[in-house]
Amino acid sequence: AKKIGSIVKAWMVQRGVSQEQRALITEEHWRKAVGTPLDAFTQPGNISRGALLIVVSDNLVLQELHFRKVELLQRLQHELPELNIKSLKFRLA
């Protein structure tokens, strides 16, 4: 038995789904997970070692994201299991 994430990843490579397309998929799901008006102050970045980087433009938004970190991570894991996101890292721009 194989993990679904490895099957989807192989399929994406086989079909030519690029990093840019994966980034767009991630951005769409991030926007849906975080909701408005916070989405206007955030930008998802790369996934490195299972950590999705979120660039934040405002200190108050950064604080709110830290409060909602577990909830947001669970939403993204549910919506994007193939990306194997294990944590969220926030960085002030």
pLDDT, tens only, 66-92? 999 999 999 999 998 888 889 999 998
Q: Using CA atoms, how far apart are residues 28 and 23, in angstroms rounded to an integer?
A: 9
Rounded to 10 degrees, what is the CA torsion of 32, 36, 37, 40?
40
Written as six digits, the tokens of 5 are 């994430």
Quick: pLDDT tens for 41-74: 999 988 888 888 899 998 999 999 999 999 999 9
In the block, residue with structure tokens 């990093």: 19
Q: Using CA atoms, how far apart are residues 51 and 13, in angstroms rounded to an integer?
A: 21
Rounded to 10 degrees, what is the CA torsion of 66, 71, 75, 80?
50
The model carries a pTM of 0.74
